[in-house]
Amino acid sequence: MFHDVHKKILRALETQDLRKGSKESTKNELTNRINAIKKFEKIHVWRKELREAKKSIIDNFDFYIDKFKNNVEKRGFIFHYAENSDEARKIILDILKGSRLVVKSKSMVGEEISLRDFLEENGIEVYETDLGEFLVQISGGKPAHMVTPAVNITKERASTLLEPYIGRRELEIDKMVMGVRRFMREKFFSADAGIIGANSLSINGEIVFITNEGNGALTQILPSRIILITSIEKLLPNLDYCIKEALVQTVYDGYRNISYIHIINKSFDKDFHIVLLNNNRNSCDNFLNDTLLCIKCGSCQLACPIFKEVDGAWGDIYTAAIGIPWTYITGNKIMARDLSNLCLSCGICYQVCPMEINIPELIRKIKGLR
C-alpha cells in the first residue's frame, strides 16, 4: 500500500500544473485567515463554545441521534439511519428508484461513500452543481480539499476542462462561471431529485449548510424529491450553535464573508429524506475521538507544508492533516497508517485548528499502530 501512496506523491510532484494550482491557492492562506478573524471579534469565544457543545454531543451520541430523529420526523422529514457506507448507498438508491437525473451539491460525506460513482454505475445521471466539485467530476479526480475541492486546478486547466460543457474556451473566470451557470440551469429544472449535504444539524430538527454560489438552494428547492446525506458528528444542541459553526468554519478557511447560509426547518411537503451516517464514528478507537470535533474548515490542510506541495495526493477521500485520522475512522486503516508516515509533525495544523485538535498527536498514534 505504501508503494502506491509513494507513486501517487511522485506523480503529483512531477505534475507542474497541479503544483502551480496548489501553490497559488495556499500562498495567502495565513494572511486570509488572520484578516477574516479580525473581522469577527467574538470568533474565539464562539469556537470555544462550539468545541464544548460538540464534545457534549459526542459523549452521548445515541441519546442525541434518537432526539434528532424524533424532531425531524415531527417536521415532516423522512429519517434514515445508516450504520456504514453500504447501507447509506442502498438507502439512497432505493429512494431514487425510477430517477434518471440527479443534481447534487457539495457533500464530503457523499464523497466518503463514493455516492456519485455508485449512482452512475446504477444508471443514474448525476451532476455536481458546486463549480469546484463539477471541475473535479469532469476531471475524473477527487476533491483535494474539504471546502475548496478544486484548489489544485489552475484557471488554464479549468478553461480546458469546461470547454466541452459551456461550448467555448473562456479565459476569464467570471465568463467560465456564467457558462457553467447556463449549463446547470437546464439540469436543475430537469432533475428528478436533488442531493445535498449539511454543515451542521440542530438536534431540534433544523438543517444548516453554506454555499458561495447559491447552487445548494436550487438543488433543494427545485426538485420534488430531496435527499440530505450527512453524518452524526454534525449534530449540535440548537440552531444558534449551527450558525456559529458556519461562521467559524468560514473564517478559519480564510473567508471574510459567507454568500449564503441556508436553514431548512421543515419539509415543505416535499419528499424529503435525511440519511444520517455513522460509519464507525460512534465506535472509533478512543484515542481518535477528538477527530469528531472537526468542523471540516480545512484550515489545517491549507497550512500544511506537505499539502502545499502535493495537495490531494496526500490522502484518499479525506486529505492531509486531519484527513489522516478521518481516513482511519471511516474505514481505510492501512492507507491511514501509510499516509501518516509522510507527516512532518511540525504542529502547524494544531496551531490553526479552531477546535484545538492535537492533529500531530493523533497522526503520531496512527503511525504507531503496526
E strands within the chain?
Answer: 78-82, 101-104, 125-128, 193-196, 200-202, 207-211, 225-231, 235-236, 260-264, 271-277
Where on the phi/psi map is residue 345: left (φ > 0), alpha (ψ -120 to 50), or beta? left
Going by pLDDT thresholds of 50, 70 and 90, the confidence category of residue 18 is low
Nearest-angstrom CA–CA distance, 88 and 81: 8
Nearest-angstrom CA–CA distance, 151 and 319: 12
Residue 260 scores a pLDDT above 80: yes
CA 281 to chain centre: 16
pLDDT digits (tens, 9 = 90+) for 25-53: 666 777 888 888 888 889 999 999 999 99
Give the bridge partners for 230, in sequence order.
276
Please give the biggest Cα pair distance in the chain: 54
Nearest Cα to Cα of residue 277 among 298, 292, 299 = 292
Residue predicted with more confidence, 21 or 131:
131
- Segment 214-224 shows an average pLDDT of 91
Residue 5 scores a pLDDT above 80: no
What does 151-181 look like in DSSP terms, one character per residue? TT--HHHHHHHHHHHHSS---SHHHHHHHHH
Domain boundaries, the chain: 2-40+286-367, 43-282
Backbone angles phi, psi at 155, to 5 degrees: -60, -40
CB-CB contact of 333 with 370 (8 Å): no
The residue with cell 428508484 is 97
pTM for this prediction: 0.92
pLDDT at 34: 86
CB-CB contact of 112 with 328 (8 Å): no
CATH assignment of 43-282, among 3.40.630.180, 1.10.540.10, 3.40.50.10420, 3.40.50.460: 3.40.50.10420
pLDDT at 153: 85
Q: What's the mean pLDDT when you consider all of the chain?
A: 90
Going by pLDDT thresholds of 50, 70 and 90, the confidence category of residue 340 is very high
Q: For the chain, what percent of residues have pLDDT higher than 70? A: 92
Give me the amino acid identity at 210: I
CB-CB contact of 160 with 171 (8 Å): no
